[in-house]
Chains A and B, each alone.
Chain A
Amino acid sequence: MEEKEIVTKGKPEALYETFFRKDGKDKSTTHYCPGCGHGRVHKLIAESLNELGVADRAVFVSPVGCSVFAYYYMNMGNVQAAHGRAPAVGTGVARARPDSIVISYQGDGDLAAIGTAEILHAANRGENMTVIFINNAIYGMTGGQMAPTTMIGQKTLTSPRGRSSDNEGFPIRMCEIISTLEAPVYVERTSCTDVKNILKTKRAIKKAFKLQTERKGFSFIEILCACPTGWKKTPRDSIKWIQETLEPYFKPGVYKDASETAQPKPRIEPSTDPEQIFTALNLQKGKSPRATGRNIGEKRIKLAGFGGQGALTAGVAIATAGMHDGFDVSWLPSYGPEMRGGTANCSVIISDKRIGMPVVLNPNILVALNGPSLDSFEDDVTPGGLVIVNSSLIERKLKRADVKSVYVPLTEIATNLGLKAAANMVALGVVLGCEKLFDKERLHEVFKTSLKRKDTLEMNIKAVNAGFEFVQKH
């Protein structure tokens, strides 16, 4: 009775006067059992927010557990999260509303069992939020099953002979774990037993909120609370059990306090300026030419080589040039682990009509930069198609007589130009020399917008020209 007097006089404004959202007729008492720790902590939270004057900015994330209905009582923004996910939900809120005071309120099942990943990583990111962790060593809401914080020997509905370390391991100490992380700013464990400890708890909660208003990041307050119903004890015996059994194992105290040294996190808000966003996205205003009026049919190109030879890059370049010329184009890589296997290839289609299937199974142009590529794709080329063979690396001739073949020492030409890696671009010059697709200057333009370094730009242009001229001469 006297405790109540000291801690607060009347209800703080951040607790609803009447619990209008509560089911049933009784809108003035909470749904918590007599002697339950939840209600008391709710009040401490509300008081702290009011004293700091930030209740308007508060968003309370309620967990799955007995406090799932905390929003009956908390007069502030409320969001209810899936079991264990409150820190992730809180992360979303905190990032979306940089000025919010986010409270992730969780029980021990919620936080230390099903939500272990979420709590650790929210802490590790140093999210600007406060976690209030109600450790009552049991699953209250589901009727009293074992929690990760249940004591050795403690009997629950799912540890009927008492928790055994052999079978269930040991009660998990979250403050100790969280305090090993770099990012959290404040980590404290308190207990909600007597007046002194309740005041300590309030100081801890208030300090955490204060740190949040200063954008100093993540605070973790673990509170040892009674669950008389789950423990099958009277409220009075429950307090005694906290003091005699829980406190010696879950030692109250400050586990980390970096409040003096922590730097405020920057306050980030997205721009709504279209120009800034168009620039960020690298979008070019204006219209592109469509449909050239020229009939080239559908050029299905396969470019292949070993990883590093630039078959994929060359594919992108020629497709981009085709697009700028007004054609429909597509480019599809061999993706994922296949790219690591030593050969890389891509399908490019340049067409005067809408493209269907983007995979080129039967190319009418094959560029083989190395031997394995020729071996893999020679049989697939359509009769009458064109095969460009890098004769610097491929010694054999084609097996097939029903396709056109061009043997070009691509690597040698590129090396002589001073850039061995440009053999792929020499190959593109050869393609444009053999097939009437578009002017090679189209490719030059592509390089101009995509290549940052002037020397590589010039080298690539020279490489294309060399390939083109090779065809003219031979």
Chain B
Amino acid sequence: MKRELIKGNEAVIKGAVLAGCTHYFGYPITPASEIAQAASYYLPLFGGTFIQAESEVAAINMVYGASSAGVRTMTASSGPGMSLKQEGISYLAGSELPAVIVDIMRAGPGLGNIWPEQSDYHQVVKGGGHGNYKTIVLAPNSAQEMCDLTILAFDLSDKYRCTAVVLTDGYTGQMMEPVEFPEELKKAPYKEWALYADQKHRKNLVTSIFMSPQTLFEVNTRLNQRYKTIENNEVLFEDLHASDAKLVIVAYGIMSRVAHNAIEELRASGLKVGLMRPKTLWPFPVKKLKELCTSAQAFLVAEMSNGQMLEDVKLAIEHSRPIEFFGTWGGTVPSVDELKSAIKTTYEKTTR
């Protein structure tokens, strides 16, 4: 399609519709509301369903119901709403239902404020609900990726019968950028397990309760095997001058855009710095980070949180290199200059 200047949040819905999403259930919250607004506008135009639910709890359970009935369905929210959805996400995992959730992170804890932060990382990537489960987490940093990764989220969630979360920050949701939408319209694949409300699928059961410990052991084992497959096959990342960098910056979402400028400018002045941007936060690009250790003498993790992804970087490289942290929170976004000086200081301290 021709390029269109569009907000990331709206690109999510156009992407979702092109992915075959027909049912949206949501509850308004800044800075994610444009997603619900766009859904309420576009979906009814072609017979799709939009419901403004009574809460995020209800919204995620409507998604659960629609997904069990076999359609492609989604919801979107931000921190406080994501907290409410956690029970539903755990049930989705237990019942092996595909679902797509978009989280446009704002600052917390509590009501916090509406400015961007990256502090839902733990809740989303590690799983804020109960039980042994994982959700695929995709981290766009542009309006184009808001579209592309939403489409991918639908494909992956159907492929693995799990929840896929598109996790990004208020800026990526709010900014307008050119987006080239695909010319293909996808549709929900046939799901033999789903409740199509007809004779053929009458015996189907969607549930997450397994009373016998042995059965639940097997369910968990199956899920874990699936998670291993996802870890092996679905890692995505982007790197910028990372392969020969002495200092590798690890950042995602809007922070990776700040890092992009900082690194281009520092490279121009001769510093061997590079960027490793995970596009999937789970599965985390562990192998890539390990590989980078052949040239990287140190890492700097830059996040708008108190160091949540930092833990995953530490685990990935098994503390084999010094890791510094550059963090900010409360809704503040660092300037390119601030990040540059942090990178410079770290560079001088940690590399030879």
Interface positions of A (Cβ within 8 A of B) = 21, 23, 55-59, 61, 68-69, 71, 75-82, 85, 88-97, 99-101, 117-118, 120-121, 125, 268-274, 276-278, 280-281, 283-288, 316, 319-320, 323, 328-333, 335-337, 354-359, 361
Contacts and interface: CB of A to CB of B under 8 A. Distances in A.
Contact of B61 (A82, A271, A273, A323): A82
Given A61-B65, A85-B57, A332-B174, A356 B258 contact: yes
Given A77-B202, A269-B47, A330-B176, A71 B207 contact: yes
Given A288-B2, A357-B254, 8 more contacts: A59-B197, A93-B68, A97-B195, A101-B197, A280-B42, A328-B178, A335-B170, A357-B258
Contact of B46 (A90, A101, A277): A277
Contacts of A92: 23, 25, 61-69, 73
A335 B47 contact: no
A228 B17 CA distance: 51
Interface string B118-136: 0000000000000000000
A78 B203 CA distance: 8
A77 B207 contact: no
Interface in B177-230: 177-178, 180-181, 183, 185, 187, 195-199, 201-209, 211-212
A412 to B, nearest CB: 30
Contacts of A82: 61, 64, 87-88, 91
A271 B176 CA distance: 28
**How would you classify the secondary structure of chain A's contact residues: helix, strand, loop or mixed?**
mixed
Nearest to B143: A330
Nearest to B170: A335
Contacts of B42: 280-281
Contacts of A333: 174
Interface in B13-66: 14, 17-18, 22-23, 25, 30-31, 42, 45-49, 51, 53-55, 57-59, 61-66
Given A118-B61, A284-B1, A77 B204 contact: yes
Contact of A118 (B1, B5, B58, B202): B58
A376 B73 CA distance: 44
A132 to B, nearest CB: 17
Contacts of A58: 197
Contact of B335 (A56, A80, A361): A361
Contact of B336 (A269, A354, A357): A357
Contacts of B336: 356-357, 361
A359 B5 CA distance: 17
Given A77-B197, A276-B46, A277-B185, A286 B2 contact: yes
6 closest cross-chain pairs (CB), A and B: A92-B65, A100-B197, A356-B261, A88-B61, A96-B69, A92-B66
B71 interface: yes
B69 A100 contact: yes
27 contacts: A23-B212, A56-B197, A59-B69, A77-B195, A79-B207, A80-B205, A80-B206, A81-B64, A92-B61, A96-B65, A96-B70, A97-B69, A117-B55, A125-B51, A270-B46, A281-B42, A281-B181, A285-B2, A288-B178, A332-B176, A356-B258, A356-B260, A357-B254, A358-B175, A358-B257, A359-B171, A359-B335
Given A91-B65, A331-B175, A358-B171, A285 B55 contact: no
Interface of B: 1-5, 14, 17-18, 22-23, 25, 30-31, 42, 45-49, 51, 53-55, 57-59, 61-71, 73, 87-88, 91, 95, 114-115, 170-171, 174-178, 180-181, 183, 185, 187, 195-199, 201-209, 211-212, 254, 257-261, 264, 333, 335-336
A121 B197 contact: no
A357 B333 CA distance: 10
Contact of B5 (A91, A268, A323): A323
Contact of B62 (A89, A271, A283): A89
A23 B206 CA distance: 17
Contact of B199 (A56, A316, A359): A56
Contact of B58 (A85, A276, A287, A357): A85
B66 A95 contact: yes
Contact of A281 (B5, B18, B260, B335): B18
B58 A117 contact: yes
Contact of B176 (A57, A91, A331): A331
A285 B182 CA distance: 10
Given A283-B1, A286-B2, A80 B95 contact: yes
Nearest to B197: A100
Contact of A89 (B68, B212, B257): B68
B311 to A, nearest CB: 25
Contacts of A331: 5, 175-177
Contacts of A274: 185
Contacts of B205: 21, 71, 77-80
Contacts of B185: 272, 274, 277-278
A77 B65 contact: no
A449 to B, nearest CB: 10
Contacts of A97: 69-70, 195-197
Residue of A69, A79, A80, A329 with highest tally of chain B CB at under 10 A = A79
A331 B42 CA distance: 23
Nearest to B45: A280
B176 A56 contact: no
A137 to B, nearest CB: 25
B211 A96 contact: no
